[in-house]
Amino acid sequence: VRPHVEAIQQADFCWHEAELPRGEGQAKQRNLSYDEEDGSASTRVVFESAWSRPGGYHHADVEWFIMEGMIKIGDQYLGKGGYYRAPAGLRVPPIEVQEGTDILLFREYGDWGFSVSDKDQSEFVSRGANTASDEPGELTIVDSNKMEWMPNVYEGDTQRFLKLKAMFIDPASPDNNNTGFVSMVCWCPPGWSDNRMVHHPVFEEAYSIAGRLDYNFGSLGAGTYFFRPALVKHGHFIAGEERGWTGF
């Protein structure tokens, strides 16, 4: 179980050797939140040299969001704002990372393990450890810079002015809203506010990319982060007047 972390500034945390087994090169990471039972974690990783890893599969559901720099995954290049996700057990192609690249790396429902392989771990790989779908999992590669902002469809009238870019959506079951998984970039326009106090049946986390958002736990500026377990009340949001707030 991950502890409630809200809100912390990533610059206040120590660097560790990055948990990227089977890779060649140097990288360091800051642990934003960490589940010491199953190894799930949210981290900021900086590559101190060129880095590469052969194809294979993760032992957890894994997401990369590129803050700065460049990666090549298979034959595709991703720069700032690029995103990829792979469920546990799905083979991902070889990866090459440019020196100086800075990413957010998220692991869910598993640890840092990685197995070099030319095939998936099993004949069927699900969409994720919390999925309600019977469809097979797949590699998701997105360039958020090429996406249009969409209206917020997840909340009521008070949050209609928020804008979203959905990186990955695995819908919840109609019978169980604790299932599924959603990752997105969110933008709150300058001066936006919502005076409600709310809670959700699932955990939430976010890393502040730019701007400012004040709420009951403090202020979210660039580089701040929270991990909020299910059913923790939060709210009374007020976005900065100049830039609003952007988070992943």
> What's residue 156's pLDDT?
62
> What's residue 199's pLDDT?
87
For 168-217, how does the pLDDT look when each residue is reduced to its tens digit (9 = 90+)?
Answer: 999 999 999 889 999 999 999 999 888 888 888 889 999 999 999 999 99
> What's residue 60's pLDDT?
99
Amino acid sitting at position 246: T
For 142-177, how does the pLDDT look when each residue is reduced to its tens digit (9 = 90+)?
Answer: 999 999 999 887 666 667 789 999 999 999 999 998
* Mean pLDDT over the full length of the chain: 95
> What's residue 99's pLDDT?
99
Candidates 69, 16, 12, 74; CA nearest to 41 is: 16
Q: Which residues contact 53 (CB under 8 A, 6 or more apart)?
A: 20, 22, 23, 24, 94, 95, 114
For 19-30, how does the pLDDT look when each residue is reduced to its tens digit (9 = 90+)?
Answer: 999 999 999 999
Residue 136: pLDDT band (50, 70, 90) is very high
> What's residue 194's pLDDT?
86
Q: Which residues contact 64 (CB under 8 A, 6 or more apart)?
A: 71, 82, 83, 84, 85, 103, 104, 105
Indicate if the pLDDT at residue 8 is higher than 90.
yes
Cβ contact 183:168 at 8 Å: yes
Mean pLDDT calculated for residue range 34-40: 96
Residue 3: pLDDT band (50, 70, 90) is very high
Cβ contact 40:108 at 8 Å: yes
For residues 81 and 65, give the distance between their C-alpha atoms in angstroms, rounded to a whole number.
7
For residues 101 and 79, give the distance between their C-alpha atoms in angstroms, rounded to a whole number.
9
Domains, the chain, ranges and CATH? 5-143 (2.60.120.10), 150-247 (2.60.120.10)
Mean pLDDT calculated for residue range 215-240: 93
> What's residue 201's pLDDT?
86
For residues 212 and 228, give the distance between their C-alpha atoms in angstroms, rounded to a whole number.
18
